[in-house]
Structure 1
Amino acid sequence: MLLRLLPALAAGLLLSCSTFADSRVLTTIKPIQLISSALLDGIDEPAVLLPPGASPHAFALRPSDRRALAEAERIYWVGPGLELFLEGVLHDSPNARELMDVPGLTLREYAEAHSEHGHEHHDHEHDAGNLDAHIWLSPDNALTLARWMKADLAPLYPEQQSRLDANLARFEQQLEALDAALHRRFAPLKDKPYFVFHDGYAYLEEYLGIEHRGVFSLSHEVQPGARHVNALREQLQRAGHACVFSEPQFTPRLVQSLTAGLPLDSAQLDPLGAATPASADGYLQMLSSLTDSLAGCLEGI
Structure 2
Amino acid sequence: MPNRAARLIVPATLAIFAASPALAAPNVVASIKPIHSLVAAVMDGVGEPGLLVQGAASPHSFSLRPSDAAKLEAANIVFWIGADLETFLPGPLASLAGDAQVVELMDVEGMTILDMREGGLFEPHSHDHGDHDHDHDHDHDHDHDHDHDHDHDHDHDHDHGHDHDDDHGHEAHDHDDHGHDEHGHSHDHEHDHHHDHDHGDAHIWLDTQNARLMVAAIADTLMAADPENAETYNENGQALVARLSELEDEIAESLDGARGRPFFVFHDAYHYFENRFDIEATGTFTVNPEVAPGAARLTEIRERVQAEEAVCLFAEPQFSPAVVETIADGTDARLGVLDPLGADIEDGPELYFTLMRNLAQSLSDCLGQ
Q: TM-score range by the shorter chain?
A: 0.7 to 0.9
Please state if 1:288 is matched with 2:357. Answer: yes
Letter paired with 1:89 = P
CA distance in 1, matches of 2:74, 2:310: 52
CA 1:277/1:23 → structure 2, altered by over 3 Å: closer, same or farther? farther
CA distance in 2, matches of 1:96, 1:43: 20
CA distance in 1, matches of 2:72, 2:43: 19
One of 67, 84, 88 as aligned partner of 1:85:
88
Please state if 1:261 is matched with 2:314. Answer: no
Cα deviation 1:228-271 (Å, max 9, x = unaligned)? 32221112112336011101111111111111122111111111
Contact 1:104 / 1:121 at 8 angstroms: preserved in 2? no
CA distance in 1, matches of 2:172, 2:65: 39
Cα deviation 1:204-245 (Å, max 9, x = unaligned)? 110110111120012332222334322211121123360111
- Percent sequence identity is 36
Letter paired with 2:87 = L
One of 25, 29, 51 as aligned partner of 1:26:
29
CA distance in 1, matches of 2:215, 2:86: 20
176-185 vs 221-230, greater mean Cα deviation:
221-230
Show structure 1 runs of 4+ deviating over 4 A: 111-115, 123-127
CA 1:178/1:51 → structure 2, altered by over 3 Å: closer, same or farther? closer
One of 135, 141, 147 as aligned partner of 2:216:
147
Contact 1:27 / 1:48 at 8 angstroms: preserved in 2? yes
Contact 2:223 / 2:234 at 8 angstroms: preserved in 1? no
Q: Any idea what SS the aligned residue of 1:128 has?
A: coil
Cα deviation 1:58-83 (Å, max 9, x = unaligned)? 12222322221011111111111111
CA 1:242/1:271 → structure 2, altered by over 3 Å: closer, same or farther? same
CA distance in 2, matches of 1:84, 1:120: 21
One of 47, 53, 56 as aligned partner of 2:59:
56
TM-score normalised to structure 1 length: 0.85
Please state if 1:95 is matched with 2:101. Answer: yes
Cα deviation 1:157-199 (Å, max 9, x = unaligned)? 3222222222112212211222222222223432111110001
Partner of 1:175: 244
Q: Determine which structure has the larger helix proportion and give its number.
A: 1
Q: Deviation of residue 145 (structure 1)? A: 0.3
Q: Deviation of residue 202 (structure 1)? A: 0.3
Please state if 1:277 is matched with 2:351. Answer: no
Give 1:192-271 correspondences, 5 Å limit: 192-240=261-309, 242-271=311-340
**CA RMSD between the two structures:** 2.2
Q: Is there any run of 5+ residues in structure 2 with no aligned partner, and where?
A: 1-24, 132-170, 177-192
CA distance in 2, matches of 1:140, 1:201: 15
CA distance in 2, matches of 1:61, 1:241: 38
CA 1:215/1:126 → structure 2, altered by over 3 Å: closer, same or farther? same
Q: Is there any run of 5+ residues in structure 1 with no aligned partner, and where?
A: 1-21
Q: Any idea what SS the aligned residue of 1:187 has?
A: coil
Please state if 1:121 is matched with 2:174. Answer: yes
Q: Any idea what SS the aligned residue of 2:245 has?
A: helix
Give 1:124-139 correspondences, 5 Å limit: 127-139=196-208
Q: Deviation of residue 47 (structure 1)? A: 1.3
Q: Deviation of residue 126 (structure 1)? A: 5.0
CA 1:23/1:267 → structure 2, altered by over 3 Å: closer, same or farther? farther
44-53 vs 141-150, greater mean Cα deviation:
44-53
CA distance in 2, matches of 1:73, 1:155: 12
Q: Deviation of residue 128 (structure 1)? A: 2.4
CA distance in 2, matches of 1:77, 1:172: 19
CA distance in 1, matches of 2:99, 2:289: 28
CA 1:126/1:153 → structure 2, altered by over 3 Å: closer, same or farther? closer
TM-score normalised to structure 2 length: 0.70
Q: Any idea what SS the aligned residue of 2:264 has?
A: strand
One of 106, 114, 138 as aligned partner of 2:112:
106
Q: Deviation of residue 111 (structure 1)? A: 4.4
